[in-house]
Amino acid sequence: MVDVPELVDRARAGHPRAVARLISLVEGASPQLREVMAALAPLTGNAYVVGLTGSPGVGKSTTTSALVSAYRRTGRRVGVLAVDPSSPFSGGALLGDRVRMSEHTSDPGVYIRSMATRGHLGGLAWAAPQAVRVLDAAGCDIVLVETVGVGQSEVEIAAQADTSVVLLAPGMGDGIQAAKAGILEIGDVYVVNKADRDGADATARELNHMLGLGEARAPGDWRPPIVKTVAARGEGIDEVVTALDKHRAWMEEHGVLAERRLRRAAGEVETIAVTALRARIADLHGDRRVDALAARVVAGSLDPYGAADTLLEGLTG
């Protein structure tokens, strides 16, 4: 058994191994997970969570690394959660993002963790919200969450971050994506990376056109800015940081930040409750109550919804 209070104290003191151990307890759904979350709860709420998403190849990892450098120059502590796709065989992840951010590994003010999705859809690992809490409690001022990069379905980051950054690059078909619903509707800040390539200006124009289509913004509402960058050379990254800071200030002024965090917490509570309920239902496979209800459904004396209601009453009553 792990001494959770001691582990939390060490994480707060900046020991990377303690942070790693706490996240491992989260990822492994440890029996001590409830104790860990209870110990972390009073210590959270300080970190600003920025999600970065976009199609594969747009330079998410390079941009994330450049943002880490920019934030460190201002003295802010940074945590990075880089979510990698899982192997369908081992369940593990390539962890390539950590390789691309190796320049920061010796910096005590930076903590980088790669996480496998383990089959979870939406571009995030299921344990990502709790891992963010660990980094928040460990004293990170900024937490950057880089998603897998699977395309338009990867919109879950919008529900998990304070600010969502959508990255595009010229010449990758992203111009066509601008006309579609999905991933390009969740951005608070848009970044056209690899802006030294042909077509960068056209991509930015198409994005700007998309943002103007069907716009129903009232005066004072946030209009997502479009920032052009060459992340590999660090160009435009300071402008991205400025845009993020402006979005944070706007959200704080209009109460949007508190509203987003409330919604995020509500979703987290609901997910935990549904997961627990699903586990209890799984334990009922072969249970006589389920078999009896199934027999009534087959016989036509009870419909499936009525049977489910009866089952839930038995589980929650």
Rounded distance, CA 302 to CA 316, Å? 20
Its pTM stands at 0.85
Average pLDDT, the chain: 83
Q: Which tens digits make up the pLDDT trace of 60-71?
A: 999 999 999 999
Quote the pLDDT of residue 122.
41
Count other Cβ atoms within 10 Å, centred on residue 283: 10
The residue that leads in pLDDT, 64 or 106, is 64
The stretch 43-72 carries a mean pLDDT of 92
What are the residues facing 218 on neighbouring strands?
A: none
Count other Cβ atoms within 10 Å, centred on residue 239: 16
Q: What is the dihedral of CA 281, 286, 291, 293, to 10 degrees?
A: -10
The residue that leads in pLDDT, 298 or 89, is 298
Name the 3-class secondary structure at 217: coil
For residue 258 the two structure tokens come to 């508190």
- Beta sheet of 189-192, edge-to-edge order: 110-116, 78-84, 142-146, 48-54, 163-168, 189-192, 226-228
What are the residues facing 112 on neighbouring strands?
A: 80
The residue that leads in pLDDT, 83 or 138, is 138
Closest CA to 154 of 56, 229, 49, 247: 56
